[in-house]
């Protein structure tokens, strides 16, 4: 990983605005974490930490017009220019508590978003610029892209449900083994409703940063889904 640590000073009254700004901006492409550290001795002394997957990702963001606009918004809240300290992370560890929080956030996608149909949690769980990878819809970016993907299945399979069999974690990644159950009562991939009940197994992968989902891969058994709907032919018996 590569990133920067910046010492800044700001009027204490601006600190809350800085926190809100960071939450609104979310994560830049390739960014894996961000922190704002506030000194006990001086509430106006802050250390800003931004970590990226690589040096190339860091500099691509640093040189982008979007980052320049974000910096100008941040600079307006500071007493002076930041003191930047760029460099590589040569050792890091994610404690069990952080990993547990990541798994708990991902679990809410299945328990609350899908099974309870609580769409409001999308804003809580996903970064604004989340990257979505889906076999049907390709690669998209943003929470609205995820809403579009979810809407595809909500329209075709209203009130579909999911059972989580296992959750596995490695670093900033969370993988979920699960099974979807649904009834096909709406249009899907050009096919009219069939009224068929379906069962689809799947694996989905989430990348986490700053407590938010910043990247999502859907790897459900789409071939089985399409065969159960009659869109694809079932394999011939041996």
Q: Is the same domain home to 71 and 183? A: no
Q: What is the pLDDT of residue 238?
A: 64
Q: Is the same domain home to 79 and 160? A: no
Is 114 contained in some domain? yes
Is 234 contained in some domain? no
Q: Show which of 26, 60, 88 is a domain's final residue.
A: 88
Q: Is the same domain home to 134 and 193? A: yes
Is 119 contained in some domain? yes
Is 178 contained in some domain? yes
Q: Is the same domain home to 84 and 100? A: no
CB atoms inside a 10 Å sphere around CB 128: 16
CA distance 75 to 82: 8
Domain of 68?
A: 2-88
Q: Is the same domain home to 153 and 104? A: yes
Judge contact between 38 and 15, C-beta under 8 A: yes
Cα–Cα nearest to 57, from 88, 34, 30, 32:
30
Q: Is the same domain home to 105 and 185? A: yes
Q: Whose structure tokens read 């931004």?
A: 50
Q: Show which of 65, 88, 111 is a domain's final residue.
A: 88
What stretches in the chain show pLDDT beneath 70?
Answer: 93-99, 237-238
Q: What CATH code is carried by the domain that includes residue 147?
A: 3.10.450.50
Q: Is the same domain home to 165 and 207? A: yes
Is 233 contained in some domain? no
The C-alpha angle 134, 140, 146, rounded to 5 degrees, equals 75
Is 237 contained in some domain? no
Number of domains comprising the chain: 2
Beta-carbon contacts of 171 under 8 Å, excluding residues fewer than 6 positions away, are: 94
Is the pTM for the entire model greater than 0.85?
A: no
CA distance 38 to 46: 5
pLDDT digits (tens, 9 = 90+) for 106-163: 999 999 999 999 999 999 999 999 999 999 999 999 999 999 999 999 999 999 999 9
Q: Is the same domain home to 41 and 126? A: no
Q: Is the same domain home to 137 and 168? A: yes
Is 128 contained in some domain? yes
Q: What CATH code is carried by the domain that includes residue 69?
A: 3.30.70.100
Sign of the torsion angle spanned by Cα atoms 206, 212, 214, 216: positive
Q: Show which of 40, 71, 88 is a domain's final residue.
A: 88
């Amino acid at each position: 990983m590569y990133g920067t640590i910046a010492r800044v000073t700001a009027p204490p009254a601006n600190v809350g605005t800085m926190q809100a700004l960071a939450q609104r901006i979310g994560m830049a492409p390739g960014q894996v974490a961000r922190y704002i550290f506030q000194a006990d001795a001086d509430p106006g002394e802050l250390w800003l930490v931004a970590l990226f997957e690589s040096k190339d990702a860091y500099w691509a963001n640093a040189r982008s017009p979007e980052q320049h606009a974000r910096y100008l918004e941040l600079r307006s809240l500071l007493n002076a220019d930041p003191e930047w300290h760029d460099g590589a992370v040569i050792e890091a560890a994610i404690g069990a508590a952080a990993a547990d929080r990541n798994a708990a956030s991902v679990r809410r996608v299945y328990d609350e978003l899908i099974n309870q149909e609580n769409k409001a949690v999308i804003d809580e769980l996903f970064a604004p610029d989340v990257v979505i990878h889906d076999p049907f819809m390709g690669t998209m970016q943003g929470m609205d892209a995820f809403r579009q993907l979810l809407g595809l299945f909500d329209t075709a399979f209203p009130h579909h449900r999911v059972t989580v069999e296992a959750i596995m974690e490695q670093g900033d990644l969370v993988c979920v083994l699960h099974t979807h159950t649904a009834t096909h009562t709406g249009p899907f991939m050009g096919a009219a409703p069939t009224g068929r009940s379906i069962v689809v197994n799947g694996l989905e992968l989430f990348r986490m940063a700053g407590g938010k989902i910043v990247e999502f891969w859907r790897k459900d058994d789409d071939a089985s889904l399409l065969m159960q709907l009659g869109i694809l032919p079932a394999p011939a018996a041996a």
